[in-house]
Chain A
Amino acid sequence: MTNIVALDSQQHQHYKLSEDKLFSHTRTAHILPLAVTEFVAAAVSLPIVFVKDSTTGQFRACALTGLQPGQNLCWQESGWQAAYIPLAVRNYPLLALKPEAQSDDYIIAVDTGSELFNQQSGQALFAADKGTDYLQQRARSAINQAHGIGLTQQFINRLLALELLVARTLTLTPKGAEPYELTGMYGIDEQRLAQLTAEQWLSLRANNDLLAIHAVLMSMAQLPLLVARLA
């Protein structure tokens, strides 16, 4: 069970973080959150899609790793298989959260449901009531990711304002089974992109969105490779 709790130097003073180079916690994840700052690096090995968050209805950017819920084709017993490892995967079980939407500061939280967070093995998080250097370094990475997610929301809002997102349905026909449709994914509307006015196009350039948009479009070439991993 996922259980997100703010890290506390008193309550968690004896806790340690161990690392899992296999990233086994992703074994059943068919989508993984991605920040816009990762798009270029991710696009060479994973399809980038947009999905609606089931509790808020808001769009998020994700790497697609499986073709049905519960399936991660980029993970095997020998570990993570794709060339790029999303930041969220590397930071797990830590994440950075804003205590309030307007806040500039982050708090560092941990999924206490993860075995990586324990009192037996790994690197110490606190020493003499203060965060260890190791924790400082992991926290920085988590804050980086959180900052990237904030930028991603702004990026998505600009895509929505220009009506650049479009629903994408993937029809899959597994061997010896009924065909099914993977729905609920959205991608960049290439036609609409070509129809933008010069002014709209320049607004994308001013926000440095063009690189991310093209990374998403090029990442679609990873879809057949993902399907091929089924075999």
Chain B
Amino acid sequence: MQTESIRSVLVVGGGTAGWLTAANLAQSFNSAAPGAISVTLIESPDIPTIGVGEGTWPTMRATLQKLGIKEEDFLRSCNATFKQGTKFVNWQHSEQPGSYHHLFTSVSDPTQFNLAPYWLQGDAGNDRPYASAVSAQGVIAELGLAPKKITNKAYEGVLNYAYHLDAGKFAELLKQHAQQKLGVKFISANVLDVTLAGDGSIAAVITDVAGTQQADFYVDCTGFQSLLLGKAMGVGFCSVADTLLADHAVTIQVPHASEDAPINACTHSTAQAAGWIWDIGLTNRRGVGYVYSSNYVSHEEAEQTLRRYIGPAADSLSARKLAMQVGYREKFWHKNCAAVGLSAAFVEPLEASAIFLIEAAANMLADQLPALKQNLPLAERKFNSSFLFRWQKTIDFIKLHYALSGRTEPFWQAARGKQLIPASLQDLLQSWQTQPVSAYDFAHVYEPFPMESYQYVLYGMGFNQQLADPQRYRQHDKAAMYFQRVQQLTSQLQQQLPPQRELLAKIYQYGFSAL
């Protein structure tokens, strides 16, 4: 029994998590070839997918490339657009309007040469915001320009970029591709029951129209229900509702006023009295949603706030309300089952962590799923410690946005209450008051958010950093060279890069070259 090999994987649940994981596993295992490990996905024809995650990280480019999906096919079939970061509006103050960018490209990798101490000393000019001192991308995104040209090859950017996408269409694309190209077997059926073996591992999944399904390994992609890991195996849920206060979202899809309406080149995130509103531009519509805490605003009032934000265009549109379980499972992998997606964990979509952590989980699963059952316990330990770390760091990073806000409404005052800030984040904030953010603050290889992300948010939010020993940072000439380079790039790229829509139209017509 213990030397048996793992020859089959059953993914339970579709959606972005299910199909992305199944596709990744099948690609890695070469499941289309005879005799390879089989990957099967069961999806209910009746349960709609949640599909809140419509923003990705730049990692999605490598993921799509690995799966063998052409960039132009992805862009076309998912109404996808290029995302160059996030613009945070009014996060700092309630009364005084203001905004900052969290970008994907910096002129200098801060782990190699950190420009922040020089920006703090005024080397980039006294009034220049941090983001526009170290990156040309903020200006490019504000102008609605694309991060690349038609002459760039597929998945290559002049500036680093991610995507905005229609999650429903994305799951559909992956579903077709996974079956046709990667050898994933598809079963359309409802899961009625999950049975356990004597040792507590999953024995079988019982369906309504496809009988009893068994596999050597199971992946739980059943969303908030967590049918396998949570319900059947009884793995508990660690709520972080006392750290991240938002517990609901209300969303509206807003069609563009015209076919040539400009598309935002970054996610917009605008602070409100009891949360924040996301605004994501696809080719055919915007996806807009208010993430809020029902302890501080009624559902009706939240929807009214969202409608006011959208304006008259919202009048004829229907809104959808979602309850969010914020937190993570005590374990993400238990015996012969791993959970990916909402069944594993969820935090508010402030930094587009949902899809990004699905990719990460699928990658690690594809690499770490052992060939022999006897090696499952070790793989389980590695996976659990890795993802506990990644989710806790994700929660820290989301919390950072709230911890630094000076907004005065009760929700915001509660959200930055010191007792609610994780100790790991408090330690970092304490040290950053007098010394720069350091690469050694992010020593883990699988740190979900890099050093530069923390810098964009810290300095964008006006964090008061007083370097205790500025003498240590005296490479002023080198820093000045970088700051000047950003200014040159900013004006050059404005001339060279096309508007989002213009590039997308060309891609639809000509596609990208493979080289």
Contacts and interface: CB of A to CB of B under 8 A. Distances in A.
A56 B510 CA distance: 6
B151 A54 contact: yes
Given A52-B151, A184-B151, A57 B513 contact: yes
Contacts of B418: none
B69 interface: no
A165 interface: yes
Sorted from nearest, which 7 A-B pairs have the closest CB atoms? A57-B150, A52-B151, A57-B151, A56-B510, A57-B510, A58-B510, A57-B513
A41 interface: no
B128 interface: no
B513 A52 contact: yes
Interface string A155-193: 000001001011100000000000000001010000000
Given A54-B149, A56-B150, A186-B515, 16 more contacts: A52-B150, A56-B506, A57-B149, A57-B150, A57-B151, A57-B152, A57-B510, A57-B511, A57-B513, A58-B510, A58-B513, A160-B513, A163-B514, A163-B515, A166-B515, A184-B151
Contacts of B509: 56
Contact of B506 (A57, A165, A167): A57
Contacts of B152: 57
Contacts of A56: 150, 506, 509-510
Interface string B492-515: 000000000000001001111111
26 contacts: A52-B150, A52-B151, A52-B513, A54-B149, A54-B150, A55-B150, A56-B150, A56-B510, A57-B149, A57-B150, A57-B151, A57-B152, A57-B510, A57-B511, A57-B513, A58-B510, A58-B513, A160-B513, A160-B514, A160-B515, A163-B515, A165-B515, A166-B515, A167-B515, A184-B151, A186-B515
Contacts of B515: 160, 163, 165-167, 186
Q: Which of A52, A54, A163, A186 has the most CB of B within 10 A?
A: A52
Contacts of B150: 52, 54-57
A59 B510 contact: no
A163 B510 CA distance: 18
Nearest to B511: A57
Contacts of B149: 54, 57
Nearest to B152: A57
B168 to A, nearest CB: 29
A184 B513 CA distance: 13
Interface string A50-79: 001111111100000000000000000000
B192 to A, nearest CB: 49
Nearest to B512: A57
Q: Which of A57, A58, A59, A166 has the most CB of B within 10 A?
A: A57
A57 B149 CA distance: 8
